[in-house]
Each structure stands twice: as structure tokens, then as C-alpha cells.
């Protein structure tokens, strides 16, 4: 008897705990999925140090004028696009700072593009099209660790002098582990539905991407304590949040907060410095430049949290 039908990739193995899920009630299905998801934090914990190295790599790249490119196919690629899209409104970054590159392009966001993940030439071409360079970081996302589009993109990025990372949920090929500066392998185990990596692997990957970009942005001074002080008020909800943050940090009322935000071109951090230090916009901008954008160095500690 041979075991050749067994796939070496952990994400492709069968889950012994869900082999009878097709006979389960709706409530039992929910419980089975939830039980599998409950193990995700424990799977991430062993790679905390790898994630921290990824945060450091991104921080250094951003400080040097570099960019982050996520590269992936299917669910993995869509998660990279999602994380990239959220950085600008959350942290006030330029849209080009974090970019998600998805095998198959924009149409693959909403519909599977047959064969896109196997197109290694496309992975190479994407690196050239985005003019990847030395200070940039290219982070491959591949649940299986073996996606040809991702492997080719990482190889080309290294040739162009960029730093590289890989986020996977199965042990990647030795050549990738040896060549990427950071490898984050989250061993969440076989999926509830065999091979459906939009489930545990997708959830774990989303958590890790959150940690990478959020950690780097915090290190760059994009938060004040845990307050989102570099957000961009592109809608009514974010505008209202900007006013609330300014009111909490400076003690002014809402009309005064709105007026200060108008003078600061809706930039929360700038408005905070203007109000707390009693300076005009030019002086506030100078203070922020001199202190690397970190508010604590300019106005001290943030206010205590009001109990809920």
C-alpha cells in the first residue's frame, strides 16, 4: 500500500475532526468551524518573533523611503489587497506606500481567474511594472507556500535588490525559506473542508497582515497611545472620529475641534499639536518634523482611558 496520495502541504491534508461534517446539523457545523478557528491564536504564537522581525523590516524600509508590496493569488492575494487598501484611511499614508498585487489582476478580486496562480511570468512582470527597487519590501502570501506566481515574484524582487518576506500556512520550499529575509509559517493545520484555505489559513493570514502593517505604522508614530491620529477623514464616520479624538486629547468642545481641523486641513495630529502647544500650523509642522511625527515627544502622554 502506498501513501502517495497524501499531499506534503499541511493545508491540503484532511482534518480528522471534521470527516462527518456532512452529516452534522447546522448548529454542529457552526460548532465544528468555531472549534477549529479557536486554535488560530495558538498557531500564531510560535511565530511571534518572525512577525516582529517583519515589523522591523517594514519600519526600516518605510523610514528609508521604501514601499511594501503584497503578492498573492486567490484568497491570499485578496487579503493582501484588503490590508493595503486599509492602510491609507487608517494611518494617513499615501496609497502607493502599501500595494496589493493579485494574480489575475483586478477582476480576480471578485471572480476566480483560471490558471492565474500558476503564471510565473506574470509574477515577474508585476515586479517590473511596479518598478520594485532596493528599499522596497515584497511580501509573498501563499497559504500552501508553493504558489508559482508568488515564488516568481519573490525571485524577481530579490534580483532587483528588494527585501523579501513570505507568509504561509504550510512549510515553504527550502529555497524560499533560505532566500527570504523573513518567513512566517502559521501551522493552523488541515482545514474544516479539505484545501479550503479561505477558512483557517485565511483567518490566520489576515491576523498576521494586521500585525505587520499596524506594528510598522505604530513604530512610525502613526498612533498616539492607541488613538488613530493619522487617519484621513474621507467619510462622515471618520470625520466624526477625528473630532472625538481631538476633543479627548485637547479638551476642547466639538465646534472648536472642527475649527482646528479646518485650519489643519483635517489632519488630526497637526490639529492636536496646534491646540496643545498653542502654536500656528507652520510651527506645529516643524515640531512634528523635528520629533519624527511622535506626539508623546511633543505633548507628553495621552489622556487616561475613560471607563466604559
- What pLDDT digit, counting tens, does each position of 111-120 carry? 888 788 989 9
Lowest mean pLDDT among 76-90, 106-120, 214-228: 106-120
Topology (CATH) of 41-219: Rossmann fold (3.40.50)
pLDDT at 1: 40
Q: Is 181 a catalytic residue?
A: no
What is the Cα–Cα distance from 114 to 218, expressed in whole angstroms?
Answer: 38
The catalytically annotated residue of 86, 171, 181, 248 is 86
SS3 state at 68: strand
Q: Is 86 a catalytic residue?
A: yes
pLDDT at 5: 62
**pLDDT of 185 above 80:** yes
φ and ψ of 184, to 5 deg? -110, 105
pLDDT at 267: 92
Percentage with pLDDT > 90 across the chain: 78
Lowest mean pLDDT among 5-19, 34-48, 78-92, 177-191: 5-19
What is the Cα–Cα distance from 201 to 187, expressed in whole angstroms?
Answer: 8
Can you give the residue ranges of every domain in the chain? 41-219, 236-299
Identical topology for domains 41-219 and 236-299: no
SS3 state at 244: helix
The residues near 276 (Cβ < 8 Å, ≥ 6 apart) are 249, 250, 298, 299
Which residue has better confidence, 306 or 60? Answer: 60
pLDDT at 130: 98
What is the Cα–Cα distance from 283 to 289, expressed in whole angstroms?
Answer: 10
**220-253 burial string, b = 16+ CB within 10 Å, else e?**
bbbbbeebbbbbbbeeeebbebbbebbbbbbebe
pLDDT at 195: 84
- What pLDDT digit, counting tens, does each position of 253-272 carry? 999 999 999 999 999 999 99
Do residues 13 and 188 lie in contact, with contact meaning Cβ atoms separated by under 8 Å?
no
Percentage with pLDDT > 70 across the chain: 97
The catalytically annotated residue of 117, 126, 191, 243 is 117
pLDDT at 12: 78
The chain-wide mean pLDDT, for the chain, equals: 93
**pLDDT of 7 above 80:** no
Query: What are the residue ranges of helices labelled H in the chain?
Result: 26-37, 40-44, 48-63, 74-91, 120-129, 148-159, 174-179, 200-219, 236-250, 254-263, 268-277, 281-290, 296-299
The residues near 39 (Cβ < 8 Å, ≥ 6 apart) are 188, 189, 200
Do residues 199 and 191 lie in contact, with contact meaning Cβ atoms separated by under 8 Å?
yes
- What pLDDT digit, counting tens, does each position of 33-48 carry? 999 999 999 999 999 9
**pLDDT of 3 above 60:** no
pLDDT at 4: 61
What is the Cα–Cα distance from 250 to 304, expressed in whole angstroms?
Answer: 12
**pLDDT of 193 above 80:** yes
Q: In this structure, what C-alpha cell is assigned to residue 180?
A: 527570504
Domain 236-299 sits in CATH 1.10.8.1080: yes
**pLDDT of 2 above 60:** no
What is the Cα–Cα distance from 147 to 115, expressed in whole angstroms?
Answer: 11
What is the Cα–Cα distance from 99 to 84, expressed in whole angstroms?
Answer: 5
pLDDT at 306: 77
Amino acid at each position: 500500500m502506498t501513501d502517495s496520495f497524501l499531499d506534503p502541504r499541511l493545508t491540503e491534508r484532511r482534518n480528522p475532526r471534521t470527516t462527518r461534517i456532512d452529516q452534522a446539523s447546522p448548529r454542529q457545523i457552526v460548532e465544528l468551524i468555531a472549534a477549529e478557528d479557536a486554535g488560530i491564536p495558538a498557531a500564531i504564537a510560535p511565530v511571534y518573533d518572525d512577525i516582529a522581525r517583519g515589523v522591523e523590516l517594514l519600519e526600516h524600509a518605510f523610514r528609508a523611503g521604501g514601499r511594501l508590496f503584497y503578492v498573492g493569488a486567490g484568497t491570499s492575494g485578496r487579503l493582501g489587497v484588503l490590508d493595503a487598501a486599509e492602510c491609507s484611511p487608517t494611518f494617513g499614508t499615501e496609497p502607493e506606500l502599501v500595494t496589493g498585487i493579485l494574480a489575475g489582476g483586478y477582476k480576480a478580486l471578485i471572480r476566480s481567474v483560471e490558471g492565474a496562480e500558476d503564471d510565473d511570468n506574470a509574477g515577474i512582470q508585476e515586479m517590473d511594472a511596479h518598478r520594485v527597487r532596493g528599499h522596497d519590501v515584497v511580501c509573498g502570501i501563499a497559504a500552501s507556500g508553493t504558489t508559482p506566481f508568488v515564488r516568481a515574484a519573490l525571485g524577481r524582487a530579490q534580483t532587483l535588490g528588494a527585501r523579501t518576506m513570505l507568509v504561509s500556512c504550510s512549510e515553504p520550499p527550502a529555497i524560499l525559506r533560505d532566500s527570504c529575509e523573513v518567513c512566517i509559517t502559521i501551522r493552523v493545520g488541515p482545514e474544516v473542508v479539505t484545501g479550503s484555505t479561505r477558512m483557517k489559513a485565511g483567518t490566520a493570514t489576515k491576523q498576521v497582515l494586521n500585525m505587520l502593517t499596524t506594528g510598522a505604522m505604530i513604530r512610525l508614530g502613526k498612533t498616539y497611545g492607541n488613538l488613530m491620529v493619522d487617519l484621513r477623514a474621507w467619510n462622515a464616520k471618520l470625520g466624526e472620529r477625528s473630532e472625538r479624538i481631538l476633543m479627548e486629547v485637547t479638551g476642547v468642545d466639538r465646534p472648536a475641534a472642527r475649527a482646528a481641523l479646518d485650519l489643519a486641513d483635517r489632519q488630526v495630529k497637526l490639529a492636536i499639536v496646534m491646540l496643545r502647544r498653542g502654536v500656528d500650523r507652520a510651527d506645529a509642522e516643524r515640531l512634528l518634523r523635528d520629533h519624527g511625527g511622535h506626539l508623546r515627544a511633543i505633548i507628553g502622554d495621552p489622556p487616561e482611558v475613560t471607563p466604559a
